[in-house]
């Protein structure tokens, strides 16, 4: 998928070229410091308290492709169609997490829900 987006002219950097072997909570802050936008298929990242906390603290702008069992070409097609909207949304500062569905619909995860999920850390 990254290669298809790069061929279309987008500056895409596969995480494994920079952060292979690191835990999510280690590389998510690094992406935020660089001002990069996270495009991921890891739906669970929206539910894990440590990852959510890392996204919030890094003020990360994140987009999660929620459709499962898609071929690379299908994923790339969805994201290529979504890129103009991703660019518009990214004019805002983070943190935020948007879901992108198979049909290309966007849904922001409410900040109150993200904060509630991170409260699990404190007990």
| pLDDT on residue 113 | 85
**Strand pairing partners for 111?**
none
In angstroms, the first-to-last Cα distance of the chain is 38
Structure tokens at 38: 């996270």
| pLDDT on residue 120 | 61
| pLDDT on residue 47 | 87
pTM attached to this predicted model: 0.90
Rounded Cα distance between 73 and 115, Å, is 34
Which has the minimum average pLDDT: 24-33, 46-55, 112-121? 112-121
Nearest to 14 by CA among 36, 46, 43: 36
Q: Model confidence over 17-34: pLDDT tens digits?
A: 899 999 999 999 999 999
Rounded Cα distance between 10 and 6, Å, is 5
| pLDDT on residue 1 | 61
Q: Is 66 helix (H, G, I), strand (E, B) or coil?
A: coil
């Amino acid at each position: 998928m990254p290669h298809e987006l790069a061929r279309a002219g987008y500056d895409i950097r596969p995480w494994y070229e920079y952060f292979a072997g690191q835990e999510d909570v280690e590389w998510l802050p690094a992406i935020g410091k660089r001002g990069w936008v996270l495009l991921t298929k890891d739906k669970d990242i929206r539910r894990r308290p440590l990852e959510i906390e890392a996204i919030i603290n890094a003020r990360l702008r994140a987009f999660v492709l929620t459709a499962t069992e898609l071929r690379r070409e299908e994923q790339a097609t969805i994201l290529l169609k979504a890129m103009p909207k991703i660019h518009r949304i990214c004019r805002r500062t983070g943190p935020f997490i948007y879901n992108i569905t198979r049909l290309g619909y966007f849904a922001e995860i409410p900040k109150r829900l993200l904060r509630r999920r991170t409260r699990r850390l404190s007990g």
